[in-house]
Amino acid sequence: MHTTLASDADILARIEQFCRDKEVPTTTFGRRAIGDGNLVSELRAGKRSLTLKTANRIISFMADFGAEARAA
């Protein structure tokens, strides 16, 4: 089985779409997802590259977003 890993650009595109859809500022996204409000700006500028661990945290955050509100 062949699995293609998402590139930083792919993850950035997913983050940007998520932020538009959920109306979440990118700095807020970065702080809530991984504790770094500079995440998106640094990805855009090419100053940051994601590890698999960080990419997985971001993807999990997006998948779980709003679950806490629904559970309350």
Domain that holds residue 36: 8-67
Exposed (0-12), middle (13-18) or buried (19+): which is 16, by Cβ within 10 Å?
Answer: middle
In this structure, what are the phi and psi dihedrals at residue 65, rounded to the nearest 5 degrees?
A: -55, 130
Question: Is 13 within the bounds of a domain?
Answer: yes
**Tokens standing for 33?**
């997802």
Q: How confident is the model at residue 3 (pLDDT cuts 50, 70, 90)?
A: low
pLDDT at 6: 86
- At 66, the pLDDT band (50, 70, 90 cuts) reads confident
Is 35 inside any structural domain? yes
Contact 33, 24 (CB under 8 A): no
Q: Could you tell me the pTM of the whole model?
A: 0.86
Q: Is the pLDDT reported for residue 70 higher than 60?
A: no
pLDDT digits (tens, 9 = 90+) for 4-61: 778 999 999 999 999 999 999 999 999 999 999 999 999 999 999 999 999 999 999 9
Is residue 20 within 8 Å of residue 12, measured between CB atoms?
no
Number of separate domains in the chain: 1
Asked, for residue 41, whether it belongs to a domain, the answer is yes
